[in-house]
């Protein structure tokens, strides 16, 4: 919220201190690197077995909820935004499906909120950006192919090539690089800061190699992160992840600052259909799939509402939009597409960011009144992401004490 506001204030439309172009290759590279590091670090903190545990809440949101969110988002976009194609509607749905845990830190840090619910939101936000990218690539290639009149078969082959090559590169680099890094640490060839740098380099290498041979760098980085965690003896340590995540967070702040500058130049061009779509994207388009995915879990309606509302849009949506603009150029409904994503993220940053703290307090009071045997209050172990976050805070506190 602060960095977006700073971008608005210092933009040419504000105090005119800073001027940047969202079409700059440098800006795109910074944004992509921020997402690459975030995808890699988030994936490397997830234990895949935990994803399907604890009554499968995160798995339901990812496997059922996210595809439904993309489908609902595409359908509503096609109905409300008249000057876009079906492929572009699908692209909007895919770009606005990933959630950003950064805006909901007040929830994740509030121990009054049941561990199961915090864990669910944390794991979902850690994995759904990677899960949305295959859909994004598919609709992006369809959008380009429609303009260039490519055969449908060719488009499908290209989409699967990018996804498949990206997964293969990520798997190879994650497995081999993780093993080599672990071996180097064990024999004393690498320690301290270089261990952290070595881990972060796996994300960047997988991104560059996949992009070089025609695969998706985003898919490669996400897969590499998963493999380093799931590779048996290759166990990712907290001290290795912390630098990668910190660098990703720093670059994310830069992206939100640039986003604020971009919004300032376009905020007065937002039409009512786009504004209404953005409101629906943050409410019904997210809440209905969440409710459907949780059928049978016997959660209370307030819990379903809480999980549905706190799906803020942020870094992933912004970076995917920049990538789409770079790839599609002046195709079709680009202006409508970009305004829909910009408006939704802008509203999400301030509305959902501002309601995170009071919302978590409201929900904690609701939960306190529920019976002790209710699903929400069932004791669970924290997921790898949650326990990692606690470890990071303890490490930072210890560093400050020293």
pLDDT value of residue 246: 83
Task: Please spell the DSSP secondary structure of 317-369, one letter per residue.
Answer: HHHHHHHHHHHHTT-TTHHHHHHHHHHHHHHIIIIIHHHHHHHHHHHHHHHHT
Asked if residues 312 and 352 have their Cβ atoms less than 8 Å apart, the reply is yes
Cα 154 to Cα 131: distance, rounded to the nearest angstrom: 23
- What domains are there in the chain, each with its CATH number? 2-378 (1.20.1530.20)
What pTM was estimated for this model as a whole? Answer: 0.84
- If one counts every other C-beta atom within 10 angstroms of the C-beta of residue 63, the result is 14
pLDDT tens track for 259-282: 999 899 888 889 999 999 999 999
How many whole angstroms from its chain centre is CA 354? 19
Q: In which region does residue 277 sit, left (phi positive, over 0), alpha (psi from -120 to 50) or beta (all else)?
A: alpha
Q: Is 298 exposed, middle or buried (0-12, 13-18, 19+ CB in 10 A)?
A: exposed
In the block, residue with structure tokens 């935990």: 50
pLDDT value of residue 18: 86
Cα 352 to Cα 312: distance, rounded to the nearest angstrom: 6
* Eight-class DSSP state of 64: I
Cβ neighbours of residue 74 under 8 Å, at least 6 residues apart?
86, 89, 90, 92, 93, 94
* Eight-class DSSP state of 56: G
Cβ neighbours of residue 44 under 8 Å, at least 6 residues apart?
225, 226, 228, 229, 236, 241, 244
* Eight-class DSSP state of 61: I
* Eight-class DSSP state of 18: -
Cα 173 to Cα 206: distance, rounded to the nearest angstrom: 6
Counting Cα atoms < 13 Å in the Cβ hemisphere of 122 gives 26
Cα 371 to Cα 198: distance, rounded to the nearest angstrom: 49
Q: Which of 142, 96, 98 is nearest to 332 (CA)?
A: 142
Cα 12 to Cα 353: distance, rounded to the nearest angstrom: 25
Q: What is residue 82's three-state secondary structure? A: coil
In the block, residue with structure tokens 């790839």: 327
Asked if residues 102 and 315 have their Cβ atoms less than 8 Å apart, the reply is yes
Asked if residues 231 and 175 have their Cβ atoms less than 8 Å apart, the reply is yes
How many whole angstroms from its chain centre is CA 336? 22
Cα 19 to Cα 258: distance, rounded to the nearest angstrom: 9
pLDDT value of residue 234: 46
Asked if residues 209 and 221 have their Cβ atoms less than 8 Å apart, the reply is no
Q: pLDDT (tens digit, 0 to 9) for every residue of the chain, 402 residues total?
A: 999 999 999 998 889 888 877 667 888 888 899 999 888 888 887 766 555 555 578 888 999 999 999 999 999 999 999 888 898 999 999 999 999 877 777 787 888 888 888 888 888 887 888 889 999 988 988 887 765 566 666 667 777 888 899 999 999 998 888 888 878 878 888 877 887 888 888 999 999 999 899 888 999 999 998 888 665 444 555 666 777 888 888 899 999 999 999 899 888 889 999 999 999 999 999 999 999 999 988 889 999 999 999 989 999 999 999 888 887 765 555 788 999 999 999 999 999 988 988 998 999 899 888 887 787 777 655 444 444 344 444 444 444 444
pLDDT value of residue 108: 79
Counting Cα atoms < 13 Å in the Cβ hemisphere of 184 gives 15
């Amino acid at each position: 919220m602060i960095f977006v506001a700073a971008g608005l204030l210092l933009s040419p439309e504000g105090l005119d201190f800073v001027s940047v172009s969202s079409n700059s290759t440098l800006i795109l590279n910074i944004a992509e690197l921020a997402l690459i590091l975030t995808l890699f670090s988030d994936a490397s903190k997830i234990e895949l077995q935990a994803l399907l545990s604890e009554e499968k809440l995160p798995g339901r949101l990812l496997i059922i909820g996210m595809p439904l969110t993309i489908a609902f988002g595409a359908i509503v976009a096609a109905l409300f935004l008249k000057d876009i194609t079906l492929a572009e509607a699908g692209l909007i749905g895919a770009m606005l499906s990933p959630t950003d845990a950064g805006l909901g830190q007040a929830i994740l840090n509030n121990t009054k909120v049941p561990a199961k619910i915090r864990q669910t939101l944390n794991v979902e936000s850690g994995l759904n950006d990677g899960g949305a990218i295959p859909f994004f690539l598919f609709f992006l290639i369809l959008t380009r192919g429609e303009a260039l009149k490519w055969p449908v078969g060719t488009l499908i082959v290209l989409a699967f090539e990018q996804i498949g090559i990206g997964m293969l590169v990520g798997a190879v680099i994650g497995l081999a690089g993780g093993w080599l890094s672990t071996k180097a640490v064990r024999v004393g060839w690498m320690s301290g800061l270089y261990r952290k740098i070595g881990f972060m380099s796996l994300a960047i290498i997988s991104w560059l190699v996949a992009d070089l041979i025609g695969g998706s760098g985003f898919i490669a980085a996400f897969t590499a992160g998963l493999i380093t965690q799931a590779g048996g003896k290759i166990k990712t340590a907290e001290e290795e992840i912390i630098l990668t995540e910190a660098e990703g967070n720093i670059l994310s702040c830069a992206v939100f600052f640039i986003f604020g500058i971009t919004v300032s130049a376009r905020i007065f061009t937002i039409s009512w259909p786009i504004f209404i779509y953005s409101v629906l994207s943050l409410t019904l388009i997210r809440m209905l799939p969440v409710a459907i995915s949780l059928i049978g879990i016997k959660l209370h309606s307030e819990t379903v509402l809480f999980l549905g509302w706190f799906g803020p849009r942020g870094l992933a949506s912004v970076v995917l939009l920049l990538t789409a603009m770079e790839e599609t150029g002046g195709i079709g409904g680009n202006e409508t597409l970009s305004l829909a994503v910009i408006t939704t993220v802008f509203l999400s940053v301030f509305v959902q960011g501002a309601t995170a703290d009071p919302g978590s307090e409201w929900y904690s009071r609701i939960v306190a009144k529920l019976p002790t045997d209710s699903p929400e209050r069932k004791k669970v172990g924290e997921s790898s992401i949650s326990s990692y976050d606690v470890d990071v805070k303890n490490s930072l506190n210890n560093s400050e004490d020293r």
